[in-house]
Amino acid sequence: MSSRKRFTNAYKNARRISFDDTSKFIIFSDCHRGDNSFADDFANNRNTYFHALKHYYQEGFTYCELGDGDELWENRDFKSIFEAHENVYQLMKKFYEQGRLYRVLGNHDMVYKNERFVKKQLSSYFDKVNGVDVPLFPGISFSEGIILKHDHSGQEIFLIHGHQADFMNYVGWKINRFMVRILWRQLQIFGIGDPTSPARNYSELKKVERRTKKWIIENDNIFTITGHTHRPRFPEPGDIAYFNDGSCVHPRSITGIEIEKGKISLIKWHITTNDDGVLTVSRRLLEGPEKLIDYKLTD
């Protein structure tokens, strides 16, 4: 199956969500939450991520996570990840209980395509204090794509991880997972990254972007937001409507995409110091805001 067909199938089977100009979405991807070991890329930014996510919860945003949220190549199950970052999952639980959490499959959490695995791993957790199982994400499901459709304009925004453009990370993901577990996870401790990852391999990154853009053009420049490459992308209106939210494992910062009041922005959360030398977590606008409707093709 070609990348073109993989994108098309994900689009056809995507979860549909209606929205309007009062809706607010925060889009993150590629958190790669691990077990807090030396190989856990998320650990360096967990406080920044938690602070940002808490802000979006309090401000009434809906959280869309575009894949690779949980690092299930390096880790064999969710339990160790949950225990390492319980505060994050307790916050995500609040989003979920209010119908404000949607999660998309990525290559590093492709195992969530198995509904039995999801039910066993994510439905509940064991509360060590009270000695009972407590609901976590009961009934949660993962889709390969999400389509946000505007109630008034009819404009569609296609959310997807983006590994559909990457043969080995889509079709051959089990092979890559095996290599990560037996080799790259150990080498990562010494600062050697996985060369098969488009985030660390520029030539692979360019191939993924080229294939993604080609599919977008072939489908009437459909408004598409991805992750996977860890490279933020924010086009001008009139250009190819290919957006990328970046990742949550940049050195000392996380990037994401906000949709609010009918506009879209690329943002960064990072640690800064004030005049008194106190460390704070700050939000910085990188691109936008641009009106969503400006990316809609005229009929």
pLDDT tens digit string along 165-216?
A: 988 887 777 788 887 877 665 655 555 555 555 656 678 889 999 999 999 9
Neighbouring residues of 253: CB distance < 8 A, sequence distance ≥ 6? 45, 48, 268, 269, 270, 271
Q: How many CB atoms lie within 10 A of CB 183?
A: 12
- As a whole number of angstroms, the distance between CA 6 and CA 13 comes to 11
Q: For residue 158, what are the domain limits?
A: 3-295
**Residue 281, pLDDT score:** 94
**Residue 192, pLDDT score:** 55
CATH number at residue 84: 3.60.21.10
Answer for the pair 195, 179: CB distance below 8 angstroms, yes or no. Answer: no
Mean pLDDT value of segment 255-275: 96
Answer for the pair 240, 217: CB distance below 8 angstroms, yes or no. Answer: yes
Mean pLDDT value of segment 6-12: 96
Please say whether the dihedral angle defined by the alpha carbons of residues 247, 17, 77 and 80, taken in this order, is positive or negative. Answer: positive
Distances (CA, A) of 127 to 79, 124, 133: 12, 9, 6
pLDDT digits (tens, 9 = 90+) for 11-55: 999 999 999 999 999 999 999 999 998 889 999 999 999 999 999
- As a whole number of angstroms, the distance between CA 175 and CA 187 comes to 17
pLDDT digits (tens, 9 = 90+) for 216-231: 999 999 999 999 999 9
| Count: domains in the chain | 1
pLDDT digits (tens, 9 = 90+) for 66-115: 999 999 999 999 999 999 999 999 999 999 999 999 999 999 999 999 99
Nearest alpha carbon to residue 81 among 62, 68, 65: 68
